Amino acid sequence: MTNTSRIAKNTLMLYFRQILILLVSLYTVRAVLAELGAEDYGIYNVVAGAVVLFTFVNNAMASATQRFLSFSLGKGDLEQTCEVFTAGFAIHLAIALLFVLAAETAGLWFVETKLNIPEARKSAASAVYQFTIAATVFNIIRVPYHALIIAHERMGFFAGVSVVEAALKIAVAFLLAASPVDKLSFYAFLLAAVALVILLCHAAFCMRSFASARLKKPRDKKLAREMVSFSGWSLFGATANMANSQGTNIVLNLFTNVTVNAAMGIANQVNAAVYSFVSNFQTAFNPQIVKSWAAGDQSGFFHLIYLTSKVSFFLLWFFALPLYLNAELILSLWLNEVPAYSVEFVRLILLCSLVDCLNGPLWMSVQAVGDIKFYQIFVSVLIALNLPFTALAFSFGASPEWLLYIRLFLLAVTTVWRVFYLRKKIRLPARHFFSGVLLRCAFVLFVSFALCRFLWSTLPFDGMVGFFVSCTSTVLVNGVCTLCFGFSKAERGSLVSFTKNFRREHGAENSGNQI
């Protein structure tokens, strides 16, 4: 099977997974918010965010593990893949131990003395903190298994395990409604239990499916140091991303209250549900980007960068546009109680994600090349500026929305810099990226938004009828604009040819399986 067909199959598998997760999330977030209330939901988000702050080392190491596994498979070195997995598992186990030490000392002090939590709920917040630490440990240990599955491009597993995860999250919502104990504490306990089950599913699948998942005494003594060294520079980016997300969430709590944190939590849930369609698409492409560089296929490497960036943007805009235009109505229909600033946060965070989705393939191309020192330092500084700029804006009395205005500006600057860096580093044709990707994406965004805004303002319908008519017209207008202006004539022909080839190969494969 060709690589493009494999990518398409993996993308379809991941989309099935995401549709299921989206449907479950729509129910569980509404149910959990209704049971906990805005205050307790905000407490959970800010306390869990404080825990996540200590996982920046794991995030850096996760990127290194993924990169080394994909690179070794791209070279066809199975023995090296075994060595990488063993080293990655040992490193993540050490990270988990260090994380617990940091969380139970400095982190515990910060949560108990600095966060803006109502006095009556501090004991529940402490329980949430401890259960979230346990869940995070399970997620850290899961990383090497997760990376191994992605490197082998076995995306069908993620579709299957999502069924398990969805069932567990629905069970969490039902158990929470019937809980005889404090619901906030019980909610954190149940999420930790879910994290443990998902870890066991990953480990069982890998040990059954891949010989490289067997832990053994490492032969390459330098490999672990090389992976840690690689992740050392990724550490800058991981720290900056933590400051950009969870750090600013804590700043938001220090200058406002937990209800505003609840609004940000809702916006993050909406954004995660929508953006995961894009991340699934990029997950299917990322191993191929690394493998194409490892194989020396530069033209295919550049083509994958352009295609992944452009299609990622259009996929996200397909969902973001109707959400943006109907955010107030959607939130009021979805939630029993809509915290203040939720609508503004949802709209702004969707715009941030539209810019950010263009960066995924650019970052993966840097990972594939492997020389990331200067890149990580400069990009990390740009991203981390969101934290001091936000604190400064709030100290001068800025409204909470300014957190996301600042993030949007810094993301745009970072995107442009990444393109020029790759032009110098690997001779990425920057002019083609700006004209063929960024310009086309911007044109589709402005034209489709203007047309849909005009149609939306002239609709004679109100309420649910107006909502469905608005969404339908938005999807149609967006689809036409994307096909007409988002792709060149050659690209449209390639997409049609790709679809036909995939259907023919997939159909032949199915026929062969039936014999």
Whole-angstrom Cα distance, residue 363 to residue 202?
Answer: 26
Q: What is the DSSP string of 9-64?
A: HHHHHHHHHHHHHHHHHHHHHHHHHHHHHHHHHHHHHHHHHHHHGGGHHHHHHHHH
Whole-angstrom Cα distance, residue 478 to residue 482?
Answer: 6
Instruction: Evaluate if residue 2 carries a pLDDT over 50.
Output: no
Tokens of 494: 């390639």
- Please say whether the beta carbons of 29 and 266 come within 8 A: yes
Instruction: Evaluate if residue 130 carries a pLDDT over 90.
Output: yes
Instruction: Evaluate if residue 144 carries a pLDDT over 60.
Output: yes
Q: According to DSSP H, which parts of 75-220 are helical?
A: 78-102, 108-113, 122-151, 156-177, 183-209
| Average pLDDT of the segment spanning 177-192 | 89
The residue written with tokens 């946060």 in the block is 345
Tokens of 163: 């069924």
Instruction: Evaluate if residue 103 carries a pLDDT over 70.
Output: yes
Ramachandran category for residue 15: left, alpha or beta (phi over 0 → left; psi -120 to 50 → alpha): alpha
HSE of 323 in the Cβ direction (CA atoms, 13 Å)? 24
Instruction: Evaluate if residue 170 carries a pLDDT over 70.
Output: yes
| Average pLDDT of the segment spanning 301-317 | 85
- Residue 381's pLDDT is 83
- Residue 443's pLDDT is 93
Start-to-end C-alpha separation, the chain = 18
Instruction: Evaluate if residue 274 carries a pLDDT over 90.
Output: no
| Average pLDDT of the segment spanning 99-119 | 86
Q: Which of 131-145, 156-170, 418-432 has the lowest mean pLDDT?
A: 156-170
pLDDT tens for 475-488 read: 888 888 888 888 87
Instruction: Evaluate if residue 190 carries a pLDDT over 90.
Output: yes
Tokens of 235: 């550490």
Instruction: Evaluate if residue 498 carries a pLDDT over 80.
Output: no
Percent of the chain with pLDDT over 90: 15
Instruction: Evaluate if residue 508 carries a pLDDT over 50.
Output: no
Instruction: Evaluate if residue 71 carries a pLDDT over 90.
Output: no
Whole-angstrom Cα distance, residue 412 to residue 397?
Answer: 25
pLDDT tens for 361-409 read: 887 787 777 666 777 778 878 888 888 999 999 999 899 999 999 999 9
Taking each helix axis from N to C terminus, what angle separates 258-294 and 298-325, rounded to the nearest 10 degrees?
160
Which one-letter amino acid corresponds to residue 105? T
Whole-angstrom Cα distance, residue 353 to residue 311?
Answer: 14
Q: How many helices (H) and strands (E) does the chain have?
A: 21, 0
- Residue 346's pLDDT is 92
Instruction: Evaluate if residue 250 carries a pLDDT over 50.
Output: yes
| Average pLDDT of the segment spanning 262-266 | 86
Instruction: Evaluate if residue 31 carries a pLDDT over 60.
Output: yes
Tokens of 150: 């992605």
Query: DSSP assignment, residue 213?
Result: G
pLDDT higher at 148 or 394: 394
- Residue 350's pLDDT is 92
Q: Which of 11-25, 247-261, 288-302 has the lowest mean pLDDT?
A: 11-25
Tokens of 260: 């505003």
HSE of 248 in the Cβ direction (CA atoms, 13 Å)? 28
Residue 75: which pLDDT band, with cuts at 50, 70 and 90? Answer: low
- Residue 506's pLDDT is 45
| CA–CA–CA angle 143, 147, 149 (5° rounding) | 120
Residue 7: which pLDDT band, with cuts at 50, 70 and 90? Answer: low
Instruction: Evaluate if residue 121 carries a pLDDT over 80.
Output: yes
- Please say whether the beta carbons of 43 and 121 come within 8 A: yes
**What integer best gives the mean pLDDT of the chain?**
79
CA distances 128 to 112, 123, 124, 266, 453, Å, are 12, 9, 6, 18, 43
Whole-angstrom Cα distance, residue 10 to residue 1?
Answer: 12
- Residue 211's pLDDT is 76
Instruction: Evaluate if residue 14 carries a pLDDT over 80.
Output: no
pLDDT higher at 499 or 467: 467
- Residue 1's pLDDT is 39
Residue 12: which pLDDT band, with cuts at 50, 70 and 90? Answer: low
